Amino acid sequence: MTQSLTLATPRSQEDKGVDTTLEQQQFLTFLLREELFGINIRPIKEIIEYGQLTVVPMVPEFVRGVINVRGNVVPIIDLALRFGWPTTLVTKRSCIVIVEVESEGERIEIGVVVDAVSEVLDIPLADIEPAPSFGARLRTDFIEGMGKVNDEFIVLLNVGRVLSVDELSSLEALQE
């Protein structure tokens, strides 16, 4: 049986009528190859444990396969391979983060394999620095910014840029 976690916005601030989105953003943090990354929680639909994938021929190397999520075919991306790193090793803590992205005016769901999910952090906008122009281990256009949390930096990914429009189109064809 597949366990899943659906993210919900904390009610405490909403109940008080406070709009915290102007001052901070929420990011799901996760480990990948022993590095901490974050993605904005808005496109995240759910988090599921890593399970059996159906392998699909003639797709980019970073596409591990597809899974069925409530009747929908969802392509699964190995984020490490997408970054040009060695493939993600699946362990008991490995998860698939299901995100919704836009491709040519349509919204599609894509699963991203991560080593382990950490936590959801509120990061003040003042603590988010622009992406570095050099020295990063991945393409700078994949980076939304660098979040400073407890004197450490977390690489904040832009999910919409991690896959190019052409690659999203090929993934969209998998869902049909």
Question: Domains along the chain?
Answer: 27-175 (2.40.50.180)
Radius of gyration of the chain measured on its C-alpha atoms: 16
pTM of the model as a whole? 0.79
Q: Which residue from 70, 60, 44, 55 is spatially nearest to 164, judged by alpha carbons? A: 60
Within 10 A of 39 (CB to CB), how many other CB atoms are there? 23
Low-confidence ranges of the chain (pLDDT < 50): 1-2, 6, 8-20, 165
User: How much is the pLDDT for 164?
Assistant: 57
User: How much is the pLDDT for 80?
Assistant: 92
Q: Which residue from 51, 81, 56, 78 is spatially nearest to 66, judged by alpha carbons? A: 56
Strands of the sheet with 35-40, listed across from one edge: 116-124, 24-32, 35-40, 152-157, 143-149, 128-129
CA angle, residues 153, 143, 111, in degrees to nearest 5 = 105
